[in-house]
Chains A and B, each alone.
Chain A
Amino acid sequence: MSNSPTGVGKFNYLYGLINLAVVFGIVWVLWFIFMHADGVMKLYTPMYGFSLVAMLLASVILLGKVLGWPSDPERALPAGKAIGQGILGVVLSLAIMYVVYYLGFWLFIGKLGVAYFSPKALVAGGGTGAEPWNAREWSSTAILYFSTAFLWWALVWDLGFGRWPWQNDSRWVTGWSRLFAVSIFSIITFAVLFHPHVCLIFPEAQKMAGAKPWWEGWASTTSAFFGLGMVLCTLFWVVYSDLFWEGRPWKWLERGGESNLAKGVVTFLGTLLLGLLLVYVLTAIFNAIWMEPYQGGQYTDGPDWRFIHMGEVSGFCVLFAFIWKYYFNNWPNGLPLLVRAIIRSIIGVAGGMLIYWFYYSPLAVVVLGKVPGWGQPSDQPLVWTLLFLGVLLMQAQFFHDWPLRRASGQGD
């Protein structure tokens, strides 16, 4: 992601603010239609809605970051072209989400291979608790985990490996090759971080199908919220180094303007280590706020909740990073890289805390229909966050940020 908008001159921050307000409104309307407890479709069960928005975001990322479509989304387009391409992008994203979620997981893999990806296969298998409601929540949990693994690899591959090793091939060869690479690593990640959890969600644990959660001794929980939190803390650094640090320090390993194996490996390991560091710091912060958790604790005392809450904090900061990048032109831009990277990072974290405050304020109780307080097991702040992120990225990638950035320069 380049930091310099193409085709525009001076950025109009007032337009950015208006754009943010409009997108917030759009997200609220979508929230009310699809998720809100008093809304229309009420998909926020919570895991079904959670997995759907995660899959939607994965579809948007798949198109933009993995397949590389549309090319050069930073370039401003004439309004007509931007709208046409934007609508096509939204339709394609929804189509991919539908095909992968319902046809791929529910009807194909779930029914013919791994039963926990399909509610109907789980119900058909019978046993305690295997009825439509539980089964849909179980399969949604599995799909959510897979989408998370995919998002991690898609973004870290784009930042670290770039087009390597297909830089001399056509865009489509590169895109499809990246899709296969990202998918393979996502499957491995899912198997190691999340499959052991999913194997335990049935009343008769599938002990022969999944390893005992290997993280229990360290994390004091058998829940894969441990892995979810860690991945999202890692994604914090992937996004911040991409958007705010303009690809540094990983970019320094490029040769001839192209990524390479070393850059990819260092980026992967570097962001992972920074992610673990963030886990370390947030653990200590939560410990200071809510005291030490203990295995079996519920609400804020549960280690599992602490881990997913780390992911939620990271998610808020990531959302604000994208807001700052696209609606506020990644200010500041005229200073030395180190200075602007530091300033942006501080702003990003402060903005993330602002979103945190909003989500846990009485305002969100009214606007989003959430129950006040922390740690309610059915309260998943990432659902709203990912929905917001999905809509934002659709505008940025598919509409080339129209109407905020236009080829005519009217947005200046």
Chain B
Amino acid sequence: MKRREFLKGMAATGAAASMTGGLGVISKSAHAADKVDFGQVKGLEVEVLSETSWFDNDIFKKNLMDYGGAMTNQYTIPWDWNNAGGYMTKITVYPLEGDPKILLMDTGWNNEWVDYIYDEKSDMGKLLTSGKVDTMILSHWHLDHYWGVESTLKRSPKITMYAPKTYFEEDMKLLKGGQNVAKTKDGKEVVINKNGTPHQGKLVLTDPKGEKGDTIYRLMPGVAVKMYDVPILLRVRGENVLYFNVKDKGIVTVTGCCHPGILTLNAWARRNVKDYKPYGCYGGLHITLFETWDPKFDDIIKGVKAFQLKKVGCNHCTGWIWGEKASAAGVPIVKGTDKYKSYKRTSTVAKASNVFLTNGDTVVF
């Protein structure tokens, strides 16, 4: 008997539901009957400002290993500053009517790197200073997506921010213009992040219930933020995901790390978005972060094919090796260019296969 048949058979008995009633953990959103409709956009263009959160995997992993592994609090590790980069994405949204709107997702890690990207490798610095970019979506509170917040705030202190409500004390301290220190093994205190410009704009703390109880936050017609309350390594919790409903194409997701899983994102949309059609994704897909392998990554390749995504733009924590294997298996991976080689620093794991959309690349949905 195939597993699907087996599950259906079990569900038909109704026994399972009655047995779980006492646990009190049934997800209400998972059983939502009403589908959400958040409108449509004409299209969107995603520009990779920076996907190189760190440049050398081995150094990052050594920092992690020396101070306790993946479950350690990120604020207790004196990270190697010279290895830090950051993750930031520029998203230009083309509405059905009116002018395009530009969104910023995430704000990087190393301020020096973020400033370099904002001012020398893109127009994001000018867009922030001029107020043309007035909304930032923080995907999650990880160091490589958030600790460079000073670079954004010193250009646009009143920017509206959407951030997961599952923050920790240190996260908010940084946002309000503070700094955090960690101790090295010999007891020396090291400043690991700082922010001299407190956030003065609107802060929308997202939670899984959404703005109106329908699990999403509507940014503009065709664009929504959904918060997934998932546990993440380095004592971080919760991730915001951007959903775009592109007219005549379908749903596109844009993610920072995609910790909940790309298939989970599409499974939610399939169950909950009116007239769902799978189309594409961009971002880190959090699969083989350190270029290692596990059979479950083969599962993800098969799953992505089964979900029939038409355009998969990936980078960052996806893992080059997953991109290469997925591409070889027939997943429609959008290839990048060699533009990243013109940047002053590059990742040690970048390969000639260009299965990543790397720094400076764009993808249109």
Interface residues of A (CB under 8 A from B): 37-39, 42, 44-46, 128-129, 131-134, 137-138, 197, 200-203, 205, 213, 217-224, 280-281, 283-285, 287-292, 294-299, 301-304, 353, 369-379
Contact = CB atoms under 8 A, between A and B. Distances in A.
Given A217-B2, A284-B15, A287-B10, A376 B231 contact: yes
Contacts of B98: none
B343 interface: no
Interface stretch (B24-32, B125-133, B216-224): B24-32
5 contacts: A38-B68, A217-B2, A217-B3, A287-B7, A288-B16
B116 to A, nearest CB: 29
Contacts of B73: 37-38
Dominant secondary structure of chain B at its interface with chain A: helix
Contact of B267 (A220, A285, A294, A353): A294
A223 B30 contact: no
A44 to B, nearest CB: 6
A37 B70 CA distance: 8
B300 A296 contact: yes
Interface in B1-21: 1-4, 6-7, 10-11, 13, 15-17, 19-20
Contact of B231 (A213, A287, A374): A374
B261 A38 contact: no
Contact of B263 (A44, A287, A294, A374): A294
Nearest to B286: A298
A37 to B, nearest CB: 4
Interface stretch (B153-161, B195-203, B301-309): B301-309
A285 B294 contact: no
Contacts of A379: 71, 231
Contacts of A301: 261, 263-264, 267
A128 B322 CA distance: 12
Among A134, A202, A371, the most chain B Cβ lie within 10 Å of the Cβ of A371
B339 interface: no
A371 B74 CA distance: 12
Given A46-B70, A284-B10, A129 B291 contact: yes
Given A202-B293, A288-B20, A371-B231, 13 more contacts: A37-B69, A37-B73, A38-B72, A44-B69, A46-B71, A285-B19, A288-B11, A291-B30, A294-B303, A298-B261, A369-B71, A373-B231, A377-B233
B230 interface: yes
